[in-house]
Protein backbone atom coordinates (compact mmCIF):
# COMPACT_ATOMS: atom_id res chain seq x y z
CA UNK A 1 0.00 0.00 0.00
CA UNK A 2 1.44 3.38 -0.94
CA UNK A 3 1.84 6.17 1.59
CA UNK A 4 -0.76 8.40 -0.05
CA UNK A 5 -3.43 5.70 0.04
CA UNK A 6 -2.85 4.91 3.71
CA UNK A 7 -2.96 8.63 4.58
CA UNK A 8 -6.24 8.98 2.75
CA UNK A 9 -7.83 6.04 4.51
CA UNK A 10 -6.60 7.39 7.85
CA UNK A 11 -8.25 10.72 7.09
CA UNK A 12 -11.50 8.98 6.24
CA UNK A 13 -11.37 6.94 9.40
CA UNK A 14 -10.76 9.97 11.57
CA UNK A 15 -13.82 11.66 10.04
CA UNK A 16 -16.28 8.86 10.62
CA UNK A 17 -17.97 9.08 13.99
CA UNK A 18 -17.52 5.76 15.73
CA UNK A 19 -20.94 4.92 17.10
CA UNK A 20 -21.32 2.81 20.23
CA UNK A 21 -23.17 -0.45 19.54
CA UNK A 22 -26.94 -0.01 19.49
CA UNK A 23 -29.77 -2.52 20.02
CA UNK A 24 -31.85 -3.63 17.06
CA UNK A 25 -33.95 -0.75 15.77
CA UNK A 26 -37.68 -0.75 15.13
CA UNK A 27 -39.42 1.02 12.27
CA UNK A 28 -41.43 4.01 13.42
CA UNK A 29 -44.04 6.01 11.52
CA UNK A 30 -43.26 9.58 10.49
CA UNK A 31 -45.34 12.43 11.92
CA UNK A 32 -46.56 14.82 9.23
CA UNK A 33 -47.16 18.57 9.70
CA UNK A 34 -49.21 20.27 10.97
CA UNK A 35 -48.40 18.66 14.33
CA UNK A 36 -47.59 20.28 17.65
CA UNK A 37 -44.65 17.92 18.26
CA UNK A 38 -42.91 19.26 15.13
CA UNK A 39 -43.35 22.90 16.12
CA UNK A 40 -42.28 22.81 19.76
CA UNK A 41 -38.69 22.80 21.06
CA UNK A 42 -37.69 19.32 22.21
CA UNK A 43 -36.36 18.56 25.67
CA UNK A 44 -32.81 17.53 26.54
CA UNK A 45 -32.29 13.79 26.46
CA UNK A 46 -30.16 11.54 28.67
CA UNK A 47 -28.01 9.67 26.13
CA UNK A 48 -27.38 6.82 28.62
CA UNK A 49 -31.11 6.22 29.25
CA UNK A 50 -32.07 2.81 27.75
CA UNK A 51 -35.15 4.39 26.15
CA UNK A 52 -33.02 7.02 24.45
CA UNK A 53 -30.60 4.31 23.30
CA UNK A 54 -33.52 2.36 21.81
CA UNK A 55 -34.80 5.59 20.21
CA UNK A 56 -31.38 6.13 18.60
CA UNK A 57 -31.53 2.62 17.12
CA UNK A 58 -35.11 3.18 15.94
CA UNK A 59 -34.21 6.46 14.22
CA UNK A 60 -31.37 4.79 12.32
CA UNK A 61 -33.55 1.83 11.30
CA UNK A 62 -36.41 4.11 10.18
CA UNK A 63 -34.03 6.43 8.31
CA UNK A 64 -32.45 3.49 6.46
CA UNK A 65 -35.72 2.19 5.05
CA UNK A 66 -37.07 5.56 3.85
CA UNK A 67 -35.96 6.12 0.24
CA UNK A 68 -33.57 9.07 -0.05
CA UNK A 69 -33.86 9.88 3.65
CA UNK A 70 -30.63 11.37 5.02
CA UNK A 71 -31.77 12.31 8.50
CA UNK A 72 -34.54 11.81 11.00
CA UNK A 73 -35.26 13.74 14.19
CA UNK A 74 -36.97 12.19 17.21
CA UNK A 75 -39.94 14.54 17.05
CA UNK A 76 -40.53 13.34 13.46
CA UNK A 77 -41.44 10.00 15.03
CA UNK A 78 -43.42 11.71 17.77
CA UNK A 79 -40.80 11.79 20.55
CA UNK A 80 -40.10 15.33 21.84
CA UNK A 81 -36.42 14.80 22.67
CA UNK A 82 -33.27 16.39 21.21
CA UNK A 83 -32.07 13.33 19.29
CA UNK A 84 -31.57 12.79 15.56
CA UNK A 85 -29.90 10.40 13.16
CA UNK A 86 -27.99 11.45 10.06
CA UNK A 87 -26.27 9.76 7.13
CA UNK A 88 -25.41 11.75 4.00
CA UNK A 89 -22.81 9.31 2.70
CA UNK A 90 -24.83 8.43 -0.44
CA UNK A 91 -25.75 12.00 -1.39
CA UNK A 92 -24.06 13.55 -4.46
CA UNK A 93 -23.65 16.99 -2.83
CA UNK A 94 -21.76 15.58 0.15
CA UNK A 95 -18.12 16.55 0.64
CA UNK A 96 -17.06 16.02 4.24
CA UNK A 97 -18.91 13.03 5.66
CA UNK A 98 -18.98 11.64 9.20
CA UNK A 99 -20.88 8.50 8.27
CA UNK A 100 -24.03 7.27 9.92
CA UNK A 101 -24.53 8.58 13.44
CA UNK A 102 -26.96 9.72 16.10
CA UNK A 103 -26.43 12.92 18.07
CA UNK A 104 -28.13 13.80 21.34
CA UNK A 105 -28.55 17.39 22.59
CA UNK A 106 -26.70 18.69 19.54
CA UNK A 107 -26.03 22.37 19.01
CA UNK A 108 -24.38 24.56 16.41
CA UNK A 109 -21.22 26.32 17.53
CA UNK A 110 -20.25 28.06 14.28
CA UNK A 111 -22.12 28.58 11.00
CA UNK A 112 -20.76 30.49 8.02
CA UNK A 113 -20.96 30.78 4.22
CA UNK A 114 -24.69 30.79 3.56
CA UNK A 115 -26.04 29.31 0.37
CA UNK A 116 -29.60 28.99 -0.83
CA UNK A 117 -31.01 25.63 -1.90
CA UNK A 118 -34.42 24.00 -2.23
CA UNK A 119 -35.28 21.67 0.65
CA UNK A 120 -37.99 19.17 1.34
CA UNK A 121 -38.80 17.15 4.44
CA UNK A 122 -40.50 13.80 5.08
CA UNK A 123 -42.71 15.57 7.62
CA UNK A 124 -43.79 18.22 5.09
CA UNK A 125 -44.55 16.06 2.05
CA UNK A 126 -46.54 18.61 0.03
CA UNK A 127 -44.09 21.53 -0.06
CA UNK A 128 -40.53 22.46 -0.82
CA UNK A 129 -38.82 25.68 0.18
CA UNK A 130 -35.86 27.82 -0.78
CA UNK A 131 -33.75 28.03 2.36
CA UNK A 132 -30.44 29.69 3.15
CA UNK A 133 -28.11 27.45 5.11
CA UNK A 134 -24.52 27.72 6.23
CA UNK A 135 -22.17 25.47 4.27
CA UNK A 136 -19.44 25.56 6.92
CA UNK A 137 -20.47 24.31 10.31
CA UNK A 138 -19.07 23.34 13.69
CA UNK A 139 -21.45 21.27 15.81
CA UNK A 140 -21.28 19.39 19.06
CA UNK A 141 -23.48 16.75 20.58
CA UNK A 142 -23.49 13.61 22.66
CA UNK A 143 -23.34 10.04 21.44
CA UNK A 144 -26.00 7.64 22.68
CA UNK A 145 -24.94 4.90 25.14
CA UNK A 146 -21.73 6.56 26.37
CA UNK A 147 -22.90 10.16 26.47
CA UNK A 148 -19.49 11.17 25.12
CA UNK A 149 -19.43 14.73 23.74
CA UNK A 150 -18.17 14.99 20.17
CA UNK A 151 -17.40 18.22 18.36
CA UNK A 152 -16.66 18.37 14.67
CA UNK A 153 -16.42 20.60 11.63
CA UNK A 154 -18.20 19.85 8.37
CA UNK A 155 -19.34 21.47 5.12
CA UNK A 156 -21.57 21.24 2.05
CA UNK A 157 -24.52 18.86 2.25
CA UNK A 158 -23.69 17.38 5.66
CA UNK A 159 -23.70 20.93 7.08
CA UNK A 160 -27.11 21.65 5.50
CA UNK A 161 -28.58 18.37 6.72
CA UNK A 162 -27.28 18.94 10.27
CA UNK A 163 -28.91 22.38 10.39
CA UNK A 164 -32.18 20.90 9.12
CA UNK A 165 -32.16 18.20 11.84
CA UNK A 166 -31.01 20.51 14.64
CA UNK A 167 -33.82 22.86 13.56
CA UNK A 168 -36.25 19.95 14.02
CA UNK A 169 -35.00 19.43 17.58
CA UNK A 170 -35.60 23.13 18.25
CA UNK A 171 -39.13 22.95 16.87
CA UNK A 172 -38.44 24.54 13.47
CA UNK A 173 -39.29 23.27 10.00
CA UNK A 174 -37.70 24.47 6.76
CA UNK A 175 -40.94 26.42 6.31
CA UNK A 176 -39.75 28.66 9.16
CA UNK A 177 -36.55 29.41 7.25
CA UNK A 178 -38.02 30.20 3.82
CA UNK A 179 -36.20 33.03 2.06
CA UNK A 180 -39.14 35.32 1.32
CA UNK A 181 -42.86 35.10 0.51
CA UNK A 182 -42.36 33.34 -2.80
CA UNK A 183 -39.90 30.77 -1.47
CA UNK A 184 -42.42 28.03 -0.63
CA UNK A 185 -43.60 25.83 -3.49
CA UNK A 186 -46.20 23.12 -3.75
CA UNK A 187 -44.55 19.81 -4.44
CA UNK A 188 -45.99 18.75 -7.78
CA UNK A 189 -48.19 15.73 -7.46
CA UNK A 190 -50.29 15.80 -10.66
CA UNK A 191 -52.97 13.49 -9.33
CA UNK B 1 -68.58 24.39 -1.73
CA UNK B 2 -67.68 26.59 -4.70
CA UNK B 3 -64.30 27.80 -5.84
CA UNK B 4 -63.64 31.27 -7.29
CA UNK B 5 -60.61 32.99 -8.70
CA UNK B 6 -60.51 36.61 -7.65
CA UNK B 7 -58.09 39.07 -9.21
CA UNK B 8 -57.32 42.47 -7.76
CA UNK B 9 -55.10 44.65 -9.93
CA UNK B 10 -54.34 48.34 -9.86
CA UNK B 11 -53.05 51.21 -7.76
CA UNK B 12 -51.15 49.98 -4.74
CA UNK B 13 -51.99 51.25 -1.28
CA UNK B 14 -51.67 49.73 2.19
CA UNK B 15 -54.63 47.64 3.42
CA UNK B 16 -56.09 46.16 0.22
CA UNK B 17 -55.41 42.55 1.23
CA UNK B 18 -56.63 43.06 4.79
CA UNK B 19 -59.89 44.64 3.58
CA UNK B 20 -60.67 42.07 0.88
CA UNK B 21 -59.84 39.03 3.03
CA UNK B 22 -61.96 40.46 5.87
CA UNK B 23 -64.95 40.76 3.53
CA UNK B 24 -64.38 37.22 2.24
CA UNK B 25 -64.01 35.82 5.76
CA UNK B 26 -67.32 37.42 6.73
CA UNK B 27 -68.90 35.34 3.95
CA UNK B 28 -67.17 32.19 5.20
CA UNK B 29 -64.68 32.28 2.34
CA UNK B 30 -61.40 30.45 2.75
CA UNK B 31 -58.38 31.86 0.91
CA UNK B 32 -56.55 28.86 -0.55
CA UNK B 33 -53.65 29.41 -2.97
CA UNK B 34 -52.88 33.03 -3.70
CA UNK B 35 -50.02 35.09 -4.93
CA UNK B 36 -49.46 38.83 -4.82
CA UNK B 37 -46.65 40.98 -6.04
CA UNK B 38 -45.97 44.49 -7.24
CA UNK B 39 -45.53 44.78 -11.01
CA UNK B 40 -43.66 48.02 -11.67
CA UNK B 41 -45.34 49.32 -8.51
CA UNK B 42 -48.84 48.19 -9.44
CA UNK B 43 -50.66 45.90 -7.07
CA UNK B 44 -51.36 42.47 -8.64
CA UNK B 45 -53.08 39.73 -6.67
CA UNK B 46 -54.74 36.49 -7.72
CA UNK B 47 -56.43 34.29 -5.15
CA UNK B 48 -58.45 31.13 -5.08
CA UNK B 49 -61.26 31.18 -2.58
CA UNK B 50 -63.48 28.29 -1.56
CA UNK B 51 -66.79 29.38 -0.16
CA UNK B 52 -70.38 28.29 0.44
CA UNK B 53 -71.80 31.13 -1.63
CA UNK B 54 -72.71 31.90 -5.22
CA UNK B 55 -70.89 34.18 -7.59
CA UNK B 56 -73.26 37.11 -7.07
CA UNK B 57 -72.73 37.06 -3.30
CA UNK B 58 -68.96 36.99 -3.70
CA UNK B 59 -69.04 39.74 -6.31
CA UNK B 60 -71.16 41.87 -3.99
CA UNK B 61 -68.81 41.26 -1.08
CA UNK B 62 -65.72 42.45 -2.98
CA UNK B 63 -67.40 45.13 -5.14
CA UNK B 64 -66.86 47.92 -2.57
CA UNK B 65 -63.10 47.64 -3.07
CA UNK B 66 -63.21 48.22 -6.81
CA UNK B 67 -62.54 51.76 -7.94
CA UNK B 68 -61.38 53.71 -10.98
CA UNK B 69 -57.80 52.66 -10.32
CA UNK B 70 -58.38 49.18 -8.80
CA UNK B 71 -60.02 46.39 -10.78
CA UNK B 72 -61.63 43.42 -8.98
CA UNK B 73 -62.90 40.38 -10.90
CA UNK B 74 -64.51 37.13 -9.76
CA UNK B 75 -64.44 33.97 -11.90
CA UNK B 76 -65.95 30.58 -11.00
CA UNK B 77 -63.31 27.83 -11.08
CA UNK B 78 -63.69 24.14 -11.89
CA UNK B 79 -62.36 21.55 -9.45
CA UNK B 80 -59.36 20.28 -11.39
CA UNK B 81 -56.65 22.87 -11.96
CA UNK B 82 -54.74 21.26 -14.81
CA UNK B 83 -54.44 18.32 -17.13
CA UNK B 84 -52.40 15.31 -16.12
CA UNK B 85 -48.93 15.76 -17.59
CA UNK B 86 -47.80 12.27 -16.71
CA UNK B 87 -44.18 11.57 -15.84
CA UNK B 88 -42.14 14.74 -16.09
CA UNK B 89 -38.94 16.39 -14.91
CA UNK B 90 -38.69 19.95 -13.61
CA UNK B 91 -36.22 22.61 -14.70
CA UNK B 92 -35.41 26.24 -13.94
CA UNK B 93 -34.72 28.52 -16.86
CA UNK B 94 -33.01 31.84 -16.10
CA UNK B 95 -32.67 34.55 -18.70
CA UNK B 96 -31.21 38.04 -18.51
CA UNK B 97 -30.10 40.72 -20.88
CA UNK B 98 -31.07 43.90 -22.69
CA UNK B 99 -34.81 44.31 -23.13
CA UNK B 100 -36.33 43.78 -26.56
CA UNK B 101 -39.75 42.63 -27.79
CA UNK B 102 -40.34 38.91 -28.17
CA UNK B 103 -38.07 37.35 -25.56
CA UNK B 104 -40.87 35.71 -23.58
CA UNK B 105 -42.88 34.77 -26.69
CA UNK B 106 -39.91 33.15 -28.40
CA UNK B 107 -38.64 31.14 -25.45
CA UNK B 108 -42.01 30.03 -24.08
CA UNK B 109 -43.09 29.16 -27.62
CA UNK B 110 -40.16 26.77 -27.93
CA UNK B 111 -41.04 25.22 -24.57
CA UNK B 112 -44.69 24.81 -25.55
CA UNK B 113 -43.62 23.09 -28.79
CA UNK B 114 -41.92 20.44 -26.63
CA UNK B 115 -45.01 19.88 -24.48
CA UNK B 116 -43.45 21.80 -21.60
CA UNK B 117 -45.76 23.16 -18.91
CA UNK B 118 -44.78 26.38 -17.12
CA UNK B 119 -45.45 26.21 -13.37
CA UNK B 120 -44.00 29.60 -12.39
CA UNK B 121 -42.97 32.58 -14.43
CA UNK B 122 -41.61 35.94 -13.46
CA UNK B 123 -40.38 38.77 -15.63
CA UNK B 124 -38.85 42.01 -14.37
CA UNK B 125 -37.71 45.04 -16.29
CA UNK B 126 -35.61 47.63 -14.48
CA UNK B 127 -34.16 50.35 -16.67
CA UNK B 128 -32.98 48.41 -19.74
CA UNK B 129 -32.17 45.21 -17.87
CA UNK B 130 -34.63 42.38 -18.44
CA UNK B 131 -34.77 39.31 -16.19
CA UNK B 132 -36.96 36.29 -16.86
CA UNK B 133 -37.40 33.20 -14.71
CA UNK B 134 -39.34 30.15 -15.87
CA UNK B 135 -40.04 26.98 -13.92
CA UNK B 136 -40.88 24.34 -16.48
CA UNK B 137 -42.05 20.72 -16.38
CA UNK B 138 -40.96 18.70 -19.39
CA UNK B 139 -42.47 15.32 -20.22
CA UNK B 140 -40.01 12.54 -19.37
CA UNK B 141 -40.00 11.55 -23.05
CA UNK B 142 -38.47 14.90 -24.07
CA UNK B 143 -34.69 15.21 -24.36
CA UNK B 144 -33.94 18.04 -21.91
CA UNK B 145 -30.42 18.60 -23.27
CA UNK B 146 -31.86 19.16 -26.72
CA UNK B 147 -34.41 21.62 -25.31
CA UNK B 148 -31.63 23.46 -23.48
CA UNK B 149 -29.62 23.65 -26.69
CA UNK B 150 -32.61 25.03 -28.61
CA UNK B 151 -33.31 27.63 -25.92
CA UNK B 152 -29.66 28.66 -25.74
CA UNK B 153 -29.54 29.14 -29.48
CA UNK B 154 -32.75 31.21 -29.46
CA UNK B 155 -31.46 33.29 -26.57
CA UNK B 156 -28.25 33.93 -28.44
CA UNK B 157 -30.28 35.20 -31.44
CA UNK B 158 -32.14 37.51 -29.03
CA UNK B 159 -28.89 38.72 -27.51
CA UNK B 160 -29.69 37.51 -23.99
CA UNK B 161 -28.05 34.99 -21.66
CA UNK B 162 -29.89 31.81 -20.76
CA UNK B 163 -29.22 28.92 -18.43
CA UNK B 164 -31.38 25.86 -17.81
CA UNK B 165 -30.84 23.65 -14.79
CA UNK B 166 -32.58 20.64 -13.34
CA UNK B 167 -34.80 21.84 -10.49
CA UNK B 168 -33.11 20.19 -7.70
CA UNK B 169 -34.49 19.66 -4.23
CA UNK B 170 -33.04 17.78 -1.33
CA UNK B 171 -35.34 15.84 0.96
CA UNK B 172 -33.83 15.95 4.42
ZN1 LIG C 1 -37.10 17.28 8.05
CA A151, CA B33: separation in Å to the nearest integer? 44
ipTM tops the 0.85 cut: no
| B98 and B54 inside one domain | no
- CA of B169, closest CA in chain A: separation in Å? 5
| B93 and B66 inside one domain | no
Coil, strand or helix at A115? strand
pTM for this prediction: 0.87
Contacts of A191 in chain B (CB under 8 A): 84
CA A136, CA A157: separation in Å to the nearest integer? 10
Candidates A185, A186, A189, A191: best to mutate against B (most CBs of B within 10 A) is: A185
CA A161, CA A119: separation in Å to the nearest integer? 10
Residue B39 preceded by cis peptide, ω within 30: no
Kindly give the pairing relationship between strand A101-121 and strand B169-171. Answer: parallel
- At A1 the pLDDT is 41
| B102 and B159 inside one domain | yes
- At A68 the pLDDT is 87
pLDDT digits over A63-92, tens only? 999 988 999 999 999 999 999 999 999 999
Please, are residues A19 and A102 in contact by the beta-carbon 8 Å criterion? yes
Number of domains in chain B: 2
Burial class (CB in 10 A: 0-12, 13-18, 19+), B2: middle
Ligand 1 centroid distance, CA of A123 (Å): 6
Ligand 1 centroid distance, CA of A169 (Å): 10
**Considering B76, B111, B140, which residue would you say is the last residue of a domain?**
B76
Q: Which of residues 25-64 of B touch A (CB under 8 A)?
A: 33, 35, 37
Each residue's pLDDT, cut to its tens digit, for chain B (172 residues) gives 899 999 999 999 999 999 999 999 999 999 999 999 999 999 999 999 999 999 999 999 999 999 999 999 999 998 776 777 788 899 999 999 999 999 999 999 999 999 999 999 999 999 999 999 999 999 999 999 999 999 999 999 999 999 999 998 888 8
Domain that holds residue B161: 88-166
Map out the domains of chain A with their CATH numbers. Answer: 25-186 (3.90.45.10)
Residue B83 falls inside a structural domain: no
Closest chain B CA to residue A180: B37
- At A189 the pLDDT is 54
Widest distance between CA atoms in chain B = 53
Q: Which of residues 70-129 of A touch B (CB under 8 A)?
A: 70-71, 91, 93, 117-122, 128
Burial class (CB in 10 A: 0-12, 13-18, 19+), A68: exposed
Residue A165 bears catalytic tag: yes
**Considering B10, B43, B76, which residue would you say is the last residue of a domain?**
B76
What sign has the CA pseudo-torsion B116, B122, B124, B129? negative
Amino acid sequence: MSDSVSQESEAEQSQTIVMPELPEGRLLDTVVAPAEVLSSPCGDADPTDPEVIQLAADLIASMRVAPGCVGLAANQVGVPLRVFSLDVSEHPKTRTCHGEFVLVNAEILEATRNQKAREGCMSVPDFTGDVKRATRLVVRGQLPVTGEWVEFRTDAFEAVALQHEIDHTNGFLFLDRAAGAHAIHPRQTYL
Amino acid sequence: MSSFAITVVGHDKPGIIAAVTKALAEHGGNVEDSTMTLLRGHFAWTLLVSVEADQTEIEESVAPFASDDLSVTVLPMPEAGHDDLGAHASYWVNVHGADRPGIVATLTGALADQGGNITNLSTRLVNDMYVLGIDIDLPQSVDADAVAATLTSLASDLGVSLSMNAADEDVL
